[in-house]
Structure 1
Amino acid sequence: MSALAVDLIFNFLNSRNVYEFDLLALIVGPIYTYSTGSKQHLYVNHPELVKEMNHCISSELGKPSYITKRLAPMLGNGILRSNGHIWSQQRKIVAPEFFMDKVKGMVGLMVESAESLTSKWEAYTESEGGKMVEIKAEKDLRSVSADVISKACFGSSYLKGKEIFSKLRTLQKAITKQSFLFGSHAFRLLSTGHQKKIEHLEKEIETLILETVKERESDCEENKDLLQLILEGAVNNDVDKESSKRFIVDNCKNIYFAGHESTAVAASWCLMLLALHPQWQARIRAEMAQVCDDNGGLDSDSLHKLKTVTMVIQEVLRLYPPAAFVSREALQDTQIGHIVVPKGVCLWTLIPTLHRDPNIWGPDVNEFKPERFVNGISGACKLPQVYIPFGLGPRLCLGRNFALVQLKIVIALIVSKLDA
């Protein structure tokens, strides 16, 4: 789970503002204030203050309410959008299901989905007589990501999960038709017909999820899927029946965005950069030949041996982080370093600027050099706290382990079986 997914949506809607922020930072420095209408904002890209934000408690900084309000049909009041006590309660229930020991149990279904993709692409090249063919990977990578989430979340109801996520994708497109972060867009209203379409999709998705929940309430399978585990977590934490239903509906939506969008985007960038640097493809293939079992497969025990794949992914996430912004709102008067941030002020941190600062990463900051991560993040730069592809602070991406394991599997299998 991840607040990063919301930031990812913001990035899609407002990509031009990344450059505006960057230009302003060059002119006035890494800390400045500005306003949009009556809303006050603080831009914070000073490394030491970013480090301070990492130490803020959950009651101090949350998601900006004026933004997340428009995302309510897509995210409900789930963990990506909620603040305060509700967010803390949801995190307590959801976070344990994404600890590494649980993620290792999902490796098999991740491998299954990735191998299905590589088989599809291999069949396509064979149908063309083994010649070089062009594959538009983005759509297929999104499908793999959705496939993994569907299997992990819905298990035996996998097909219903696919239907739910298809409708969620349609809902996402409907909601993100208009930019709403800055300027006059913030006050633009949707047409009645468009709003009705959104409401209809919202009800359809809720009905499908609740049908699946009802099936789960009488399910006694030993290998429980993510939906069952979260449902049990809600019951064990004394969430009443009505609130439990709302909790499940909202967080199923949230899991989709947290585990689907950002992973698919990162995988696309990985393949693009590997296509431009074939020497790294060769290194991954050599590593896979050493790591894989006799059948050429991957398992949870072999993943930590994929050092080259890990370095490539870390470098891709540095150069092209899935989200451009980390956005927070001060839920109370908050001290960040030497700055007192009044309640209601929104803070913005621009991730690409931190990830491409030559004073932190060196003069080769804009080059694709995975070897900079050979000794981990602490060895790659002067200030490890500015490497924040999964966000920062107490709302750091809960699905970080899930995303990294899935990326490792997808990239390792595609590169080892296909030439880019």
Structure 2
Amino acid sequence: MEELLVIVIVLLIASSALSYLLHLHQLCRRSENIRQKLRRQGIEGPKPTLLYGNTIEMKRIQKKLKPVQKQDANDYLSTLFPHFLLWRKIYGPVFLYSTGALEILHVSDPDMVKDIGQRTPSELGKPNYLKRSRKALFGGGISLANGDEWAYHRKIIAPEFFTDKIKGMIQLIEDATVPVLESWEGILDDAGGSSEIVVDDYLRNLSADVISRACFGSSFAKGEEIFCKLRQLQKAISQQDALVGLSAVWKHLLMKANREIGKLDEEVRLLILAVTKERSNCKGNDDLLRAIINGGTHDGRSHKSTIEAEGFIIGNCKNIYFAGHETTAVTAIWCLMLLATHPEWQDCARAEALEVCHGRTRLDVDVLRHLKILTMVIQETLRLYPPAWMMMREALKDIKIGGLDIPQGTVIQVARSMLHLDTDAWGPDASQFRPDRFANGMAMACKPAHMYMPFGHGPRTCIGQNLAMTELKVVLARLLSRFAFAPSPSYQHAPVFRLTIEPGFGMPLVVTRL
């Protein structure tokens, strides 16, 4: 009996190994075919190795060329991604590199970037590897959907972020801002009017509260555990993303990191199901969560299965919970840092906020529309620190982009940060904080205009950008009206990549009550 058990175990291991080797062989053949087709058209890039692609070289370049981040430097590309800068210098604005499992076409040529934005979601979609590697964080939601599935998700969710809906959310944003204002007032009262405050968690909680109130009909207290676990998932997945090259192997091994991700994923799933169950039993609530629940259970033609419905609901709740609060919070953090280090712009933005708001107890769309300087500050912050720094697409069929024949399965990478810091588009001071670039609007800020894409490009542009801009204006106007901000001596400028570009050691600022 024991011998039979050993034989079964050996056969299972052999079967798994054979399956993996066949899968690896298919990946290698596909990668080689893509590489040959693109290289025949003149596309160059670093030579990859069999299993690791160019990942070993990437780490070597990072170790060799990574400089010390200057305290006043906004150009973090040379710190985080020096290999991309080096390869662009060697091979030009379009080059090919490999992670071992994927062939990635890096594009920063303006004409090709424009052409990418004109492709339909059935031609260019989210890469399949992202669906696997970030499934725990985004599930089966709109962020990772493609084709008809993506169109259905957008049809359900986009109307909840139209301008008329956003108008009704302004008071909710103001209500969510009050706890931060009162908390900082209390800290400063005890400290004699001025104190160092690490603003990160306050702004994350505020943004999370906005999403909870505006989209899910509850306060932050109810969704706090979901946000906390999604933050843990974000950090765990961003660390795992560094294991490129053999990432296809790691995903199938019972590593401690994978077990932790699986545990957090299940906990988030159960928390979201509890929230949706509670909402399903309530009547009369017309918000995003209700739209997601309805969209998940019925697609207009037929009822979905329980598994399909659950995947739709949980996936899109994860998308809104994470993308709706994390990216906005990070932008607010960088905004305060830039205003603290540029007091002349802080003074201008504050003077405008005090003049436009006139101490109003309530703000509205017309008031926010007159905050032109603050809008320019936010736009410039999004240029220097776009929260989603990379746009990734996969050719879902053979297509032509910028005169180049792109084989199906090619992953296309557009680094927003690289476009936003391009001196040809923005001038020699591209890395400097200059909000007046946007004095005549986004279309006139750079040439060509599509080199600015903080919320994406083409048909998949972020549907939540109106809410994000509204929230940032309200929050910053209220904060600037009450407090002055200055750099803290303890601040260490070290942007890091954790799916978003965020401060590596937090954002301590010296806050003074006005």
From 148, 152, 175, the counterpart of 1:85 = 148
Cα deviation, residue 338, structure 1: 0.5
Which residues of 2 match residues 180-191 of structure 1 at below 5 A? 180=242, 182-185=244-247, 187-189=249-251, 191=254
From 163, 173, 184, the counterpart of 1:100 = 163
Residue 280 (structure 2) pairs with residue 217 (structure 1): yes
Cα deviation, residue 342, structure 1: 0.6
CA distance in 2 between partners of 1:369 and 1:174 (Å): 35
Which residues of 2 match residues 163-312 of structure 1 at below 5 A? 163-180=225-242, 182-185=244-247, 187-189=249-251, 191-221=254-284, 224-235=286-297, 237-238=299-300, 239-240=303-304, 242=306, 243-293=308-358, 295-312=360-377
Between 192-201 and 378-387, report the one with greater CA deviation: 192-201
Which residues of 2 match residues 337-348 of structure 1 at below 5 A? 337-348=402-413
Question: Could you list the runs of 5+ residues in structure 1 that have no partner in the other structure?
Answer: 1-13
Aligned to 1:63: 126
The number of residue pairs the alignment matches comes to 405
1:182-232 alpha-carbon deviations (Å, 9 max, x no partner): 3345533554444333333322222222222222223223x5332113323
- Determine helix, strand or coil for the equivalent of 2:240: coil
- 1:363/1:198 CA distance change after superposition, 3 Å: closer
Cα deviation, residue 34, structure 1: 2.2
Residue 381 (structure 2) pairs with residue 316 (structure 1): yes
Cα deviation, residue 146, structure 1: 1.1
Aligned to 1:3: none
Aligned to 2:469: 404
CA distance in 1 between partners of 2:366 and 2:294 (Å): 28
From 209, 212, 226, the counterpart of 1:147 = 209
Quick check: 1:160–1:208 contact (8 Å CA) kept in 2? Answer: no
TM-score by length of 2: 0.74
Quick check: 2:171–2:362 contact (8 Å CA) kept in 1? Answer: no
TM-score by length of 1: 0.90
CA distance in 2 between partners of 1:245 and 1:72 (Å): 14
Aligned to 1:390: 455
Aligned to 1:372: 437
Residue 150 (structure 2) pairs with residue 72 (structure 1): no
Aligned to 2:172: 109
CA distance in 1 between partners of 2:205 and 2:221 (Å): 13
Quick check: 2:296–2:310 contact (8 Å CA) kept in 1? Answer: no
- 1:188/1:271 CA distance change after superposition, 3 Å: same
Quick check: 2:331–2:382 contact (8 Å CA) kept in 1? Answer: yes
Quick check: 1:323–1:389 contact (8 Å CA) kept in 2? Answer: yes
- Determine helix, strand or coil for the equivalent of 1:366: coil
CA distance in 2 between partners of 1:332 and 1:31 (Å): 20
Cα deviation, residue 181, structure 1: 6.3
CA distance in 1 between partners of 2:87 and 2:241 (Å): 21
- Determine helix, strand or coil for the equivalent of 2:145: coil
CA distance in 2 between partners of 1:217 and 1:178 (Å): 36
- Determine helix, strand or coil for the equivalent of 2:217: helix
CA distance in 2 between partners of 1:140 and 1:81 (Å): 29
Residue 81 (structure 2) pairs with residue 23 (structure 1): no
From 307, 310, 333, the counterpart of 2:398 = 333
Cα deviation, residue 295, structure 1: 3.3
Between the aligned residues of both structures, percent identity stands at 46
1:355-386 alpha-carbon deviations (Å, 9 max, x no partner): 12222112222221111111101221121111
Quick check: 1:361–1:382 contact (8 Å CA) kept in 2? Answer: yes
Residue 99 (structure 2) pairs with residue 36 (structure 1): yes
* Structure whose alpha-carbon radius of gyration is higher: 2
RMSD between aligned residues: 2.1
CA distance in 2 between partners of 1:50 and 1:411 (Å): 32
Cα deviation, residue 234, structure 1: 4.2
Cα deviation, residue 412, structure 1: 1.5
Cα deviation, residue 31, structure 1: 0.9
Quick check: 1:18–1:324 contact (8 Å CA) kept in 2? Answer: no
- Determine helix, strand or coil for the equivalent of 1:327: strand
CA distance in 2 between partners of 1:351 and 1:403 (Å): 18
Between 52-61 and 372-381, report the one with greater CA deviation: 372-381
CA distance in 2 between partners of 1:374 and 1:410 (Å): 21
CA distance in 2 between partners of 1:405 and 1:80 (Å): 22
Q: Tell me which amino acid in the other structure corresponds to 1:351.
A: R
- 1:312/1:71 CA distance change after superposition, 3 Å: same
- Determine helix, strand or coil for the equivalent of 1:302: helix
Quick check: 2:126–2:392 contact (8 Å CA) kept in 1? Answer: yes
Cα deviation, residue 300, structure 1: 2.9
